[in-house]
Amino acid sequence: MTAIDSVPPRTLRQAFPAKPFGLKPPPPHAPATVRSTSDLRRLQRLMTHALLCPPGPGDDLRPMWIDGRPLANVAAEFIKPNDRLTSLERLQIYRRSYG
């Protein structure tokens, strides 16, 4: 069991909605910069899609992105890793725990 696996299920807030009504499709790639509200919306739409829809087994993120790429590659486009946590593991913390 890894440290990420040992994160307790989220208990302090509601679960993510099963169907994110109204959420528009994500951009194909993460914005290279956020210099406008439109850029901000694209980044937030991307992260929301990665977190919300559709979930993988249990409380996990889905393994593959909409276009067939590994979700790990997509997460690496917009989230910084460090020597302890990959970009995907950082995303997983939000998926599985209270932030």
Partner 1 sequence: MPHHAHILERKPVVDWFEIISENFMVDGGRPLEVLDRILEQYRVVQHGVSMYFGSADKLDRTHLRKLKRLVKRTRTPWLSDHLCWGSVDGTYSHDLLPMPYTRAAAKRAAEKISQVRDYLEVPICVENVSSYAEFHVSEMTEWEFLTEVVERADCGILLDVNNIYVSAKNHDFNPYDYLNGVPHHRVGQIHVAGHTKFERYLLDTHDHPVLDPVWKLYAHATRRCGVTATLLEWDDRIPSFAEVHQEALKANEFIGGARAAQPDQGTAPGVNASARK
Centroid of chain to Cα 75? 7
**Residue linked to tokens 């997460």:** 75
> C-beta of 24: minimal distance to partner 1 in Å?
5
- State the residues that interact with partner 1 by CB under 8 A: 3-4, 6-7, 11-14, 16-17, 20-24, 30-41, 43-45, 47-48, 51-52, 77-80, 82, 84-85, 87, 89-91, 93-94, 97-99
> C-beta of 59: minimal distance to partner 1 in Å?
14
Q: Enter the tokens of residue 90.
A: 């950082």
Q: Which of 13, 37, 38, 16 is nearest to 27 (CA)?
A: 38
